[in-house]
Structure 1
Amino acid sequence: MNLRFIQLFLLTFLTLNLAAQTDSISVRPRRVFNIEKNSFVLPHVWKSGELKAAVGLSSTKFPLDYVESALRIPLIDLYATIGLPKGFDASVNISSIYMANQVRGGLHWNKQGKVFSAKMGYDVGFIFGALTQYGFDNRTSAWSHYPNASIGFKVKDVAITVKSELNAITYINTTAGGIKVTEFKDFFNGGALGVYVEQRLWANHVMIVGCRDNYVKYYYPVWPAFTSFNRKYHNIEFFLGLIIK
């Protein structure tokens, strides 16, 4: 009798425990990943005060007229964006390959739709660089302006964004050995068109893969060659990044 009682007690205890676990699982809210809320490039209305950051590398193949060889130089890119009220956001971007650098900031407005979303904005970039190797002592600084627009959509856990921008230069100053050698003001430099894909890796971590064609005359990573050519070139960038916050 005692053995049967113990067996019945254990069976009842296990049944109640299993039922409790099942109830807790059913009540516990399921975490659903949303690529829109976790994306960085895709246009969407940011929550006011929300801060996101991304880090990446851009690999650029320069035209042969620039460097006379199939040279690829990776740029280090750091991005940060903060959400503002009424669909606005503010962003800052730092790009560097040591001898050429750009600090870029801007303000953007986002509009979300059922299928597509869009963004419009205006960025200003300060460019600076120095070439002090191989006997050179050349330095540059410039101001660049980027009115831009993006359109994007999502497919399950993937977001696709097409971004276009124009580029106007308001000032360039280049010196050699402390002597001013070039100075340019106010000219239309060209534009760029890029496609970016954001894909979930694990949890809420998202990878960014992109390709952008910069059709410009003054391409700052190769600023020492700027004065030699009076035409625009296609400078193709391949981007790989990770949203870190």
Structure 2
Amino acid sequence: MDLRYDVAGVGPTLVLVHGVTDRRQTWTPVLEQLTPSRRVVTVDLPGHGESARLADGDDVLGQLLEELSGFVRSVTPAGERPHIAGNSLGGWLALAMAARGEVASATALSPAGFYVNHADKRRAALTFRTFRGLVQVMGPQMPKVMSLKGLRYPSLAAFYGHPSRVPYENAVINANSLATNALMDRVMEATFDRPCASVPVVPVTVAWGRRDMILPVYQARRVRRVFPQARVMVLPGIGHVPMTDDPDLISMILLGGSFAPTQISPG
């Protein structure tokens, strides 16, 4: 497919994958820290940002995974094994590629797919749909409404631990995408079967924001049932889309660095 992407930096290839209704620019806050030592590839998933829409089909996650897998192969220099990181839906895709042995390592930030039961999954879908409904009700007045901090910050609180750090322009673009993205309902209805690792162990890191209201932090305790080798951390003060909340911390995680004592591993 025609996927829009950007490449910056030098070093081992690191592909960054956004979540549902998001876009590749969501990674901008961490690029300055990553590009001195990584060749960073940011991509718009099918049906997101500037990429072409995804064809109709029953297995939307399978389609996204195959498109992303082919894309990663195409942008990785010959003879190199890429690293991958993703947020939310992108985290699930990154872990699925790790389970298939297609990457050198995978990092997932609040990945989808670790719901405790069906009701937990429906709660996450309802949260997305509720906020989409609110944005749709605003209609053409949405940019004006979002210009008011007293309304903008609460509307972003489910997604960000620090809504005040999200630029107004980004908030408007994200709200419009939430209201219009044609793929969201298909993703919300997907089963999110947990990847089954059937290959030699690939290093996996999973970091979860304690302020995540979309995929609450209790889901992090289920990661090691699928990836027993995973390094799992809970990040105080961090929300569902963490790159804006604390770029330095998220960059450190993406680079595989050391961590402060406030990062804990759930049992």
TM-score (norm 1): 0.29
Where relative contact order (Cα < 8 A, 6+ residues apart) is larger, the structure is 2
Structure number having the greater strand percentage: 1
Structure number having the greater helix percentage: 2
Larger Rg: 1
TM-score (norm 2): 0.27
